[in-house]
Amino acid sequence: MSELLNESPTKTIFSEIRKWKAEKDAVILSHYYMPPELQIPVKDGGVADFLGDSLGLSVEATKVKAQNIIFCGVTFMAETAKILNPGKNVFIPDREAGCSLASSITANDVIELKKKHPGVPIIAYVNTYAETKAECDICCTSRNAMSIARSFDSDTLIFLPDVYMGQNLQKGIEKETGKKLILWHGRCEVHEQFSNTSLSTMKMMYPNAEMLLHWEVPEETVEESLNNRAGVLGSTNDILRYVGESKSKEFILASECDLGAILKSTYPDKEFITPCIKCPYMKKISLLNTLAALKAIGTSEEEKYKVELSQDIIDRASIPVKRMLNFS
């Protein structure tokens, strides 16, 4: 990633963004799926004050001192930052940065689920909008889903909205505790593309490569991939940790393509092979619209970027989000 710093147009935007951040009392929180140029930390000459997975960024959001947060990620993540910081201003450089999982379920869908399964605890993956979260008992991210599911006494739990992640969790949780999960039918349009077919050529070409699989990948891919070779099924952070601990030099990445950028810059002596599937929502965020959002703070333009939630939604959604953070 650091070679990007030598490209002079990028260098100019980096220094512009840093100047405006100071002027507008703002920090930038940036997700690992951002384009590589937005993943470079300030200490290395970039603009990201914090780089992380969705849980890491939620935790950072609670510690921010600046009055303004620019969230370089997708809308449900920026909403979580707002829920945790109701007194601060949260901006997203493109309000159209959605998520196929978050838009697969509404608050009304959850109300109907509760009528159908009275008393069954509901775990909502953070990849949901604030209104949906407000109807749920607890949130989880890919990092803490397993320990949160384990913590309930109930034999049955509702897990929403990702059906694949739910099926992958179900296997582990059922084996360990006998608990059953009732699932919703949402899918991540990025991770569902990691089929056995899409990975088969790479597996043939790299017979010794270890597998890096995100929870949101289909169950049959996980089964086939980890049948005869080493690897990890987990969250973004689990993947980063696994690569650091593994002696292997080759990995097949079955997760968002730009996670490869931080993997490669952290472990330059290792090789990462991937079909390179990018999240179209994450890629709506760029250096240019990040700069535009910063400049807009405090002007009549700021509404274009501001994340607004009603006090009622903040109050209700903060309960499951804060319960989740107690597990972190």
- What residues between 121 and 180 interact with ligand 13P by CB under 6 A? 127, 141-142
Cβ closer to ligand SF4: 20 or 52? 52
Mode of pairing for the β-strands spanning 50-52 and 89-91: unpaired
If you count them, how many residues does the chain have? 328
Q: Does 263 bind ligand 13P (CB under 6 A)?
A: no
Least distance from C-beta 191 to ligand SF4, angstroms?
Answer: 6
Binding ligand SF4 (rule: CB under 6 A), the pick from 16, 137, 189, 250 is 189
What does 285 interact with, of ligand SF4, ligand 13P, none (CB < 5 to 8 A by kind)? none
Token reading at 203: 């597996």
Binding ligand SF4 by CB under 6 A: which of 149, 169, 279, 324?
279
Q: Which does 281 bind (CB under 5 to 8 A by kind): ligand SF4, ligand 13P, none?
A: ligand SF4
- Least distance CB 285 / ligand SF4 (angstroms): 11
Provide, rounded to whole angstroms, the least separation between the CB of residue 243 and ligand 13P.
14
Give the largest CA-CA distance in the chain. 59
Count of residues of this chain found to bind ligand 13P when the rule CB under 6 A is applied = 9
Residues lying near ligand SF4 in the complex (CB under 6 A) are found at 74, 99-101, 127, 188-191, 256, 279, 281-282
